[in-house]
Amino acid sequence: MPWVTVVGSLNMDLVVPVPRHPRPGETVLGGDLRRVPGGKGANQAVAAARMGARVRMVGRVGEDAFGRALFEALAREGVDASGVLALADAPTGVALIAVSESGENAIVVSPGANARLGPEDLNPKDLGDAAVLLLQLEVPPETVAAAARLGRQAGARVVLNAAPAGPLPDALLANLDVLVVNAHEAATLLKAEPPEDPKSALSAARALAQKVPVVVVTLGERGLVYAGAEGEGHLPAFPVRPVDTTAAGDAFTGALAAGLAEGMGLKPALRLGAAAGALAATRPGAQPSLPPREEAEALLEGPGPD
């Protein structure tokens, strides 16, 4: 099985259920605090591993209890964490997450050690045998750009989940093979209003595909659209009852990367990702919500999007 290498963030998620998200200046009483391994990078690494991929993680944590817990979480999933170092001079990253009764989340991230992952920390050996290099934007942008460049040089298929939203330099876009964004992130890149339906999202994907070979725009309950060198189209969402959407996007992207690494075509890999994302939304937490391969395949075999 080819490798998926993930260069990205590792956080401890501090999750509180709330009846609704507070307005500015307002206090809302929530439920019991849960500590859940997270971070977009680590979430996507675990998601890919649960899809059966061989996964290597590159990142930074602090020399603290949260950092040790995150190492243990990766080890339980069989993720190679030799590229994750613990720093004595920075805390482990933390995400503060409020989850409403409707399953929507509001998140504040304190990057901690993630912000110390620099281009000089990237080892070409970690990227050299990767079929897919998976990136996000919770580590410094110069590190993301350097990783994409090294991945392209090594012959990996470079996938960027451009979250959280922010501008992307053309030099980075030139080294990408697949760009994954949600409606808000697509709007940020295009300096436009967020697409509200598959038709407008497909227009946004086409515009972004002028700079990246394949663009995927996720739309939550409205599914996803894709455009670029491998065709274009709309995949409806699998119908599920959402409980917590915290890591649904990470489940989708990690499963997409795993599918591409094992040689799937784009549309089958997107369907695998869509199934994983739908299942993740039905469970609380970040990494605990990420489904195994057999559950995603069972959903694919049942009634759902074509």
pLDDT digits (tens, 9 = 90+) for 250-290: 999 999 999 999 999 999 999 999 999 999 999 987 898 99
Sheet holding 130-135, edge to edge: 80-87, 54-62, 3-7, 130-135, 157-161, 178-182, 214-218, 224-228, 233-235
Residue 129 has a pLDDT of 87
Rg (CA), the chain: 18
Residue 245 has a pLDDT of 80
pLDDT at 226 over 70: yes
Residues 4-35: tens digit of each pLDDT:
999 999 999 999 999 999 999 999 999 999 99
Sheet holding 105-110, edge to edge: 34-38, 11-17, 93-99, 105-110
Residue 304 has a pLDDT of 55
Share of the chain above pLDDT 70, in %: 99
Residue 125 has a pLDDT of 83
pTM above 0.85, yes or no: yes
Active site residue 250: yes
Residues 172-217: tens digit of each pLDDT:
999 999 999 999 999 999 999 999 899 999 999 999 999 999 999 9
Catalytic residue among 129, 170, 250, 306: 250
Q: How far is CA 275 from CA 47, 103, 224, 269, in A?
A: 12, 18, 12, 10
